[in-house]
Structure 1
Amino acid sequence: MVSSLLIPALSAILAIASPIDNTQPRGTNPISIASAEFLGNQTADNSCSHRDLGFPGSINGKWYAVYGDTLWCAPGVTDPLKDDTSSFHGMVRDSVSLMTEDPLKVHDLFLNDDSPVPHQKQFVPYNASWGEDASWGFGGTSLCETDADAKEAAIFFLRNANDDGLKGAGIGRVKVLNGTPTVVERYGHNGYWWDSSTNPRYGDLLAYCDIWSDYIYAVGGAPTNVTDFIGSCYSYMVRVKKSEAFDLSKYQYWHGVQRGWSSTRLETFNSNTAIFWGVGQGQIVWNAHYDCYIFVHLSIAGDQVLLRTAKRPEGPWSADVKAYDVSSSSPGGGMAYAGVAYPYLDHSGQTLTVAYTKMPNCIEVVKLTFV
C-alpha cells in the first residue's frame, strides 16, 4: 500500500509527466454576434481574375493582400462572373494586391502588359536553378512588417512541387518598390528553411505580426512524415522578433505549455506541442472590443465561419463561436476555406469584416457586428 504521505508527491510527478492536450478549448469565448451582413464578392478595380486566399498584412501603414492560385479571365473580360471558365486563359500561383477602404475592391499590383486588361504576375518568384518552374506552388500567407521605415516585410510560403509533393516552408524578404511589394530575396538551401518531411510547414496556415510585441508568429501543418489521420491534423507554431526575421538561428519554437518557447527546433509532434487540431488556413487578429486575440477560420466541413479567442497568440484558445453560415450567401455552392479578416476597417473592434474563399476561387466578404 502506498503511504498517504507519498500521494501528493506522486500526484505532482504524474502531473509533470502526463501530456497536456494543448489543442483542447480552455476559458470562455466572449464573442457574441449581433449581426452578420453578407457584403458580396471581392474583385479588382484594374484587372480581372479568379483567385483564392487573400491574406492581408500591412507595410508602413498600407494594407496588402497575398492571393493563392490566380486564374486570369479571358482577354478583355472585366467581370469574373462573365468569364468563360470552360477554357484556360493563364494563371500564376500567387499574386499581390493593394487593399482599399472598400473590402469588395482591391487594386492589383505587379501586372503584365496584356491588353486591354492586364493580368497579375507571380508574386513569389520561382528559381530555375533550384529546379523550379512556373507550375510550382508558393502559397503565401500575410505580409509581416519587419521595418516600417524601410518599407520591408517578410512573407512565409510553402514550396509545392506538384507531383513531387511539398518540399518545405520558406521565407522571403519583401520591399515596397515603386509602390509594389516585391520579393527581393528567398532564404535557405534551394529557397526554403524547413524541410516539410521532418518539420511543420511553418506559415502555411497563418502568419501574424503582433501589434503588442516585437514578434511575428507563424503556424504550419504537421510534417509530411506524420501519416496517421489524427497526427496529420495537428498544427504548430514558431515565432521570431521582427528585426530578426531573416535569421533562422533567432527563431523560437513552441514546445507546449510545459516547456514553452525554445530555440531548439521542434521534433516531437503531438497534442502537447501543437497549437491547433483540425483547422485549415486562417488568420489571427487583435480585437480591441473584446480585448483579446481572435482566430478566424472555417469549419472542417467548410460551411461555417468560426471565431475562437485567446489572451496570447500561443493560447490557450477557447472553443469556437459560429459567426456566419456560408450557405446563406450562396445556397448549394461549394465549400469554403481560408478565413481572413480586415481589422484596419474598424479599429474599435465593434465590427470585424471577414472574408473566405468559396469554391471555386471566389472570395466572399461578410461584416460581423459584435454585441
Structure 2
Amino acid sequence: MPSPPPKLKKFERIGTLKDVNGHNYTRDIGCSSVFNRKPIWLFGDTFPLNDKGQMIGLLTSTAAMGNEREPTKSKYWICKSDGKPAQFIPFTDEEWRFNKEHQGGGKQRYFLWSFSSIVETSPGQGWVFFTKGRTQSTNLSDNVGYGVQIGRVSTDEHGMPVVTRCMNEPLFPHNTITWGSFETLIDHDYIYLYGEKGGQIFVSRVPNDCPTDRSKYEFWTKDNTWSKEQKNLKDLFWKLQSGTVFWSKYYNCFILIGCTMWADNKIIVRHAKRPEGPWTSDALLYQLYKPQSGFNYCVNVHPWAFPESNGGELLVSWTDQHTGVVELGKITWEGYND
C-alpha cells in the first residue's frame, strides 16, 4: 500500500454522464454514495429535454442509480414517458403551489439542493442534508435562504431510496454555518458534517442514530477538541466551492478532492488521518479544460466505481457550466498496476 500524499499517475476523460432511458438532461451537482448496496447519484437543478431539445420542466433535486462497471451510465428509476423524472427531496404543498404559480416567469421558485450525498447509517436507512431557498431573480446573490434541513431516507417496495422531510423548522438556520451543505460522511458511530460560512469550511459531528437532535452535535475547535458550543471553531478549508471527503483504501487515509471558488477549473486534493484533520494544504491534482463559456464546478469523486481497483482508480465528476451536464474522468493513482 502506497503512502500519502496522493500522487496522480494518469487522468482520463471518459465521457458525459447520461441516463439509459435515452432522454437528455441538463443537471448539476452530481454527488453520490452507496445506499442499500446501490450507487445513487444526487443532482440539483434538473431540466429534462424532449426530443426537440426543449426543456419540459424543472426539478431542484433528482436521484439516479449509478453503474459500477459502466460509470457513464445512470438510470432514473421513476421516470415519465416524456423523460421527466421525479423530484427526489419532496416539496411541501406550499412550496409546490408557489412553484406552480410562478413557473411561467421562471425567476421565483423554491429550491431544495443537496451538495452532500446520502449517509447510510444502517442497511437501507439513512439521512440527507439539504439547503432550502427561494430565488428572486436570475442573480444567485438575490436568493433567500431558509437554512439547512434534513430528510430521512428509507427504501420503497423496490429497495430504492425515498426521502421523508423531518422537522418543521431548519435544523440549522440561515446566516449560520451551513452544516452538511458542503459534505457529509459517516465514520464509525458518527456523522461528520462539513459546513461553510464566509468562505471558510468547518466540521461538526453527531451520533449517527440522532442527527435530528441539535443538542447532540459537537463542533471542532481551534483547541483541537470537540465542543458542544459553536465557539472558537477551527476552519479546515477555505474558498472551496465543492468537494468529496472519503476514506481511501489505497492510501489508508481520508482524502478531500474538490474545486475552489475561484472559477479556475482546478481540481485540488488534501489528505488527513481523521475527518477533522489536521488537513494538508491545497495541492493541485489536475488542471481541467476551460469550457466554451463559464467554468467547471461541483467537483466530486465516487469511490464505488472501478471496484476491482481497490481504490487505485477513482471516478471524478464535474459540471460543465457551458453545456450544463455532468462530465466524468478517471483518476489513476501513482503505483497502481506498476
TM superposition score normalised by structure 2:
0.85
1:357 aligns with 2:319: yes
Greater helix content: 1
Instruction: After TM superposition, give the deviation of residue 282 of structure 1 in Å.
Output: 1.1
CA contact (8 A) 1:208 1:284 kept: yes
Instruction: Give the partner amino acid of 2:258.
Output: H
Instruction: Give the partner amino acid of 2:279.
Output: W
Instruction: After TM superposition, give the deviation of residue 337 of structure 1 in Å.
Output: 1.1
Greater strand content: 2
Q: Deviations over 1:78-129 (max 9, x none)?
A: xxxxx35xxx421101101111122211111333x3x3x3311211112235
Distance 1:52-1:331 versus aligned 2 partners, 3 A rule: closer
Distance 1:129-1:160 versus aligned 2 partners, 3 A rule: same
Could you tell me which of 219, 228, 232 is aligned with 1:253?
219
Instruction: After TM superposition, give the deviation of residue 73 of structure 1 in Å.
Output: 0.6
Instruction: After TM superposition, give the deviation of residue 29 of structure 1 in Å.
Output: 5.6
Larger radius of gyration: 1
1:298-337 counterparts in 2 under 5 A?
Answer: 298-299=259-260, 300-327=262-289, 332-337=292-297
Q: In structure 1, the residue corresponding to 2:241 is in which secondary structure?
A: coil
Question: How well do the aligned residues superpose, as a CA RMSD in angstroms?
Answer: 2.1
CA contact (8 A) 1:126 1:133 kept: no
Distance 1:45-1:250 versus aligned 2 partners, 3 A rule: same
CA contact (8 A) 1:29 1:320 kept: no
Distance 1:131-1:62 versus aligned 2 partners, 3 A rule: closer
Match of 1:110 in 2: 78
C-alpha distance in 1, partners of 2:291/2:30? 23
Match of 1:52 in 2: 28
Instruction: Give the partner amino acid of 1:362.
Output: V
1:203 aligns with 2:180: yes
Q: Deviations over 1:275-296 (max 9, x none)?
A: 2111112111111221111111
Match of 2:162 in 1: 182
Q: In structure 1, the residue corresponding to 2:215 is in which secondary structure?
A: helix
What is the percentage of aligned positions where both structures have the same residue? 26
Match of 1:343 in 2: 303
Distance 1:331-1:221 versus aligned 2 partners, 3 A rule: closer
* Gap regions ≥5 residues in structure 2: 100-108, 137-142
Match of 1:263 in 2: 228
CA contact (8 A) 2:48 2:83 kept: no
Distance 1:277-1:39 versus aligned 2 partners, 3 A rule: same
CA contact (8 A) 1:173 1:246 kept: no
C-alpha distance in 2, partners of 1:110/1:71? 15
* Gap regions ≥5 residues in structure 1: 1-27, 78-82, 223-231
Instruction: After TM superposition, give the deviation of residue 307 of structure 1 in Å.
Output: 1.3
1:367 aligns with 2:335: no
Number of aligned pairs? 309
Match of 1:13 in 2: none
C-alpha distance in 1, partners of 2:98/2:182? 24
